[in-house]
Amino acid sequence: MRLLGILLAFLFISHPAIAQDLPLLTINGPNGQEEYSVKLQIFLLMTALAFLPAMLLMVTSFTRIIIVLGILRQAMGLQQSPPNRVLIGIALTLSLFIMRPVIYDIYDHAVIPYQQGEMTMFEAAKVGEKPLRQFMLQQTRETDLEQILRIADEPAPDSVDDLDFLIVMPAFILSELKTAFQIGFMLFIPFLIIDMVVASVLMAMGMMMLSPLIISLPFKLMVFVMVDGWSMTVGTLSASFG
C-alpha cells in the first residue's frame, strides 16, 4: 500500500494535466477559498496516511479488541489459528461497528460543514474532536487521568472538557490496557480449568510423558463451539464499551 501511494504521488507530480482538477485540500481565506499546490496536497495526504495506523490504535476501540482476541487465542492453546491477519480484520470490523456513532457524528457536524465551506479546516477539526474526546473519556478511569496529570506535572482542570487532547490519549490507552487484561483474565479461567482437569486425569492414569495440551485442545475447542464462544466474546467486548 505504501509503494502504491508513492507511485500515485509521483504520477500526479509528473503529470500536471492530471493533477489540475485535484483540489484535495482548500483553505478559506479572506478572499475566498484558496487551494494548496498539488505537491503540497500530496505531501499532506501522505503524512496523514502515515499517522493513520497510530491514530487507529490510540483513539479507537481497536486496542482493547485485539488484545482480548490475542489472549483468547493463547488461552485456547492455538498458536497460529486464527492467523494474525484474521484477528486484525475482526478487530478492525468490530472497531468500525463500535465507533459508528462517533464516526457519524464527526461526519455530520464537521466533515459536511467543511465541505460546504461553512467552517475552516481548523474549526472542523475542533468540532470533530468533541465526540471523539467524549468517547475516550467515557472509557477512561479517573485514576489513569490523575496519573498522566502527575507525570505531566499539570494541575487538574475544573472540567474534563479543559483537558488537553494529548493528556486524554495516554490516559485512554492505560484504561484500555487494564480493561483488556481484565476481560482476558475472565476468558482464560475456563480454559485453565480444562487444562488442570486433563493434567490431573493424565497424572492419575500414569501418562506423565503425554503433553496435557495435546489432549485438552480438542476439549477446549468443543466447549468453545458448544457455548457459542465467538458470539459471547463479541457481545462482551461490545457491552464493555457501554
**pLDDT tens digits, 34-55:** 445 556 667 766 777 777 777 7
The per-residue pLDDT for 39 is 65
Rg (CA), the chain: 24
- 47 and 72 in a single domain? The answer is no
The per-residue pLDDT for 175 is 92
In eight-state DSSP terms, residue 162 is: G
Contact 144, 174 (CB under 8 A): yes
Using the 3D structure, point to which of 35, 52, 69 is the last residue of a domain. 52
- 162 and 219 in a single domain? The answer is yes
- 74 and 192 in a single domain? The answer is yes
Average pLDDT, the chain: 78
The confidence band for 223, taking pLDDT boundaries of 50, 70 and 90, is: confident
Handedness of CA 50, 54, 60, 62 (dihedral sign): positive
pLDDT in tens, 119-170: 777 788 788 888 888 888 888 888 888 888 888 888 877 777 778 888 888 8
pLDDT in tens, 86-115: 999 999 999 999 989 998 988 888 888 878
The per-residue pLDDT for 37 is 54
- State the average pLDDT over residues 218-224: 87
The per-residue pLDDT for 16 is 45
- 121 and 217 in a single domain? The answer is yes
- 27 and 64 in a single domain? The answer is no
Please give the single-letter amino acid code of residue 180: A
- 146 and 213 in a single domain? The answer is yes
Full domain range(s) for residue 114: 60-240
Contact 38, 16 (CB under 8 A): yes
- Close Cβ partners of 194 (under 8 Å, ≥ 6 residues apart): 216, 219, 220, 223
How many domains does the chain contain in total?
2
> Could you identify the residue written with the cell 492505560?
174
Using the 3D structure, point to which of 52, 69, 92 is the last residue of a domain. 52
- How far is CA 204 from each of CA 47, 77, 199, 216, rounded to the nearest angstrom? 62, 23, 9, 15
> Could you identify the residue written with the cell 497424572?
203
- 161 and 43 in a single domain? The answer is no
- 110 and 192 in a single domain? The answer is yes
- 41 and 67 in a single domain? The answer is no
Residue 125 vs residue 173, higher pLDDT: 173
- Enumerate the β-bridge partners of residue 22: none
Among 206, 153, 147, 211, smallest CA distance to 174 is for: 147
pLDDT in tens, 14-23: 444 434 444 4
